[in-house]
Structure 1
Amino acid sequence: MGTMLDEKKLHNLLKRSIREVIESEFEREIKPRLNEIDRILEILEDGVLAQIAAGRFIEIEEGTATVSLENMEKKYAV
């Protein structure tokens, strides 16, 4: 009976194995997807900032631009 694992050792072995599987799945499947989501969010953020800048440029050209930070916060929810 020297080769039998007691309940606590078996529990710890299973816990460690489950943790390793979860970590490897995270690294293999989830982490790349999270990185892709981060890249997409950065692209969207850049696009939104570009739209705001383009809108401000048009306002400046038309002479309708405001310099009030309060107005900017209301208009663009900054």
Structure 2
Amino acid sequence: MPICLDSISPGLLAHAATVPDLDEALRLLQDAAGIRHGDVAGQYFYFMDAEHSQWFEASTAQRVIWLKGWIEAEKADLKRYR
């Protein structure tokens, strides 16, 4: 199945931002988009500590900003291989 970032709806993005665990939030979005590997997410969220406490403590609005940034990183990565 090819990766389709357009499958991540605004509603799904908003829901993922409310999930207290970063890995679970990303899994929701990655599953919707058909992303099987977390390489780009790992690179994008490198600044998080091992417990992802920054995510847990962040506001939903901040989480949305981070998730949108990650989606842009995924788009850039896809362009490299097309």
State the TM-score, normalizing by the size of structure 2.
0.27
Structure of larger gyration radius = 1
TM-score by length of 1: 0.28
Q: Which has the higher contact order (CA 8 A, sep 6+)?
A: 2
Greater helix fraction, Structure 1 or Structure 2: 1
